[in-house]
Structure 1
């Protein structure tokens, strides 16, 4: 629909580009929902998990019969109606196969494990492959839920500046704490949209003035905190 708004010159900036989405939970699925509406040549989906009951409450829309199927297969079949070139890869990215990300023009990282995040983002930034790493946390407070939504990227500076901080955590939370970290679709969608905006800024579809390497949105204050200097 780019022609309707006289934006063919901008939307064409994504023609021929290939992106990967690593992790197809709540945030990753909303990323797919957005980038499937672009002129990308290929969208590869990396995840080895199956669809569970809680999964469908985090995904956009509803995919009948998805429970029990591999996430990447269910999503690829559904979004193939929107966009050709969606490639499901039923694999978890590890040190053994991270090299499979080498041919992509951009990678969205939406995993929930700190060591996996460290491995992937370290490798991507060391190999000059632009990325956006996503994250969120939500806890019960005395008056409701409070939390944050975060994106970090897109280069080695972003990795070096934020590694090991709340902006790019590289360790897992304790098991009991992790289970308190609820996910709700509006925050998954916000996380994904922040990541997609940063992705479109990278390729020039959206203007950008901030040089922030990481941005955190606080759900309580409704404010965004931007990181620029090494931490």
Structure 2
């Protein structure tokens, strides 16, 4: 082995210099127009793709233990020898979208005999290209993946300030792309702040925060993360505080440092989805009425905890209720909207961050099911977790197809 290993950052330039049609898309390296032989002994062309992760402005080496490896994906039929028998590249059918709008059909797992892997991406992709292309050349000596064509790399304007390598490593970028749109979170107390934390880590385009309260010490003990004493003493609006915290990671978080009422609730019109995290029944009723009439899907989150004097302990539940254009007839059964139906948790001012977190996660996971990110076998529209019973109950199912 050379004492001067190849810089992994130079692999892309080297591939381009040699005339390969290369493209970087969603943290993947794509090499287009690779000739191969089909089972019908015909030469066709397809695209090879592999992970191309960046960390600290450096390309992660294959087999570095940071998520990249020696495997690649293939968009065409399974490559064959000139006589139509299949090459041994590791047969693993992968009929799915690897990236948004980029379907693949196979995943290959092959490396040079006696080697642990590849030092950089140039040797990785050329290893597979050579194995596949040589068979096509036996049929037509003039075919070559080095077409000299230049592909315009279009990464797109990501909402994140740095790549989402977690989704790339897990191979779920195409699934994560389902989490899009303009989202509103009404109420930035404990539950709302945990919802924000989860939504901020998805590729949704905009997250609008509505709350007229000031961030104080009681919020610090209920919200995600650790607020400093300076944060508490700043007395800034909750929405401004959370924008400042999360704009370190992403763009598109918008502060609305005021409460919604009958005069400005129309501002929710045009959102793709709304999370309601309010603690007053009359405010909730006003918001729910507007969203139902506007056909805007939303989830209402709430808690009901109380102190049991006999045991000196807390019991109760947290709830997440999904309402859509196709189903809203369950609203009065699950969502408290009378002025005296304020959640007991807020009446007693009990600080319970873990229940806030569970409440938020129920809401976010239900939203992700609604978006098609998670499977949803039972399609319940209400989820309720009882802390003293440690049980999760599912509410009504939709009996008709969603519009």
Q: Comparing 193-202 with 219-228, which one deviates more in the overlay?
A: 219-228
| Higher RCO structure, 1 or 2 (CA under 8 Å, sep 6+) | 1
Residue 72 of structure 1: how far off its partner (Å): 0.2
Partner of 1:187: 355
Cα distance in 2 between the residues matched to 1:212 and 1:6: 28
Aligned residues: 226
Match of 1:160 among 325, 329, 348: 329
Match of 2:251 among 62, 76, 84: 84
String of CA shifts for 1:30-61, please: whole Å, max 9, x gaps. Answer: 00011111101100000010012211100011
C-alpha contact (below 8 Å) 2:296/2:325 kept by paired residues: no
Cα distance in 1 between the residues matched to 2:348 and 2:237: 25
Cα distance in 2 between the residues matched to 1:71 and 1:105: 23
Runs of 5+ unmatched residues, structure 2 = 1-165, 399-403
Residue 212 of structure 1: how far off its partner (Å): 2.1
String of CA shifts for 1:9-28, please: whole Å, max 9, x gaps. Answer: 1111124x110000000000
Cα distance in 2 between the residues matched to 1:157 and 1:91: 30
Match of 1:55 among 214, 219, 223: 219
Q: Comparing 192-201 with 154-163, which one deviates more in the overlay?
A: 154-163
C-alpha contact (below 8 Å) 2:193/2:224 kept by paired residues: yes
Residue 114 (structure 1) aligned with residue 287 (structure 2): no
Runs of 5+ unmatched residues, structure 1 = none
TM value normalised by structure 1? 0.91
Please state which structure has a larger fraction of its residues in helix.
Answer: 1
Cα distance in 1 between the residues matched to 2:324 and 2:286: 14
C-alpha contact (below 8 Å) 1:18/1:40 kept by paired residues: yes
Partner of 1:127: 294
Residue 229 of structure 1: how far off its partner (Å): 7.2
String of CA shifts for 1:140-183, please: whole Å, max 9, x gaps. Answer: 112211010001112256543231x4x200023378x6532624
C-alpha contact (below 8 Å) 1:214/1:227 kept by paired residues: yes
Q: Comparing 61-70 with 4-13, which one deviates more in the overlay?
A: 61-70
Q: RMSD across aligned C-alpha pairs, in angstroms?
A: 1.9
Runs of 4+ residues over 6 Å off in structure 1:
none
Q: Comparing 18-27 with 122-131, which one deviates more in the overlay?
A: 122-131
Partner of 2:337: 170
Counterparts in 2 of 1:3 and 1:50: CA distance versus 1, 3 Å: same
Larger Rg computed on CA atoms:
2
Partner of 2:184: 20
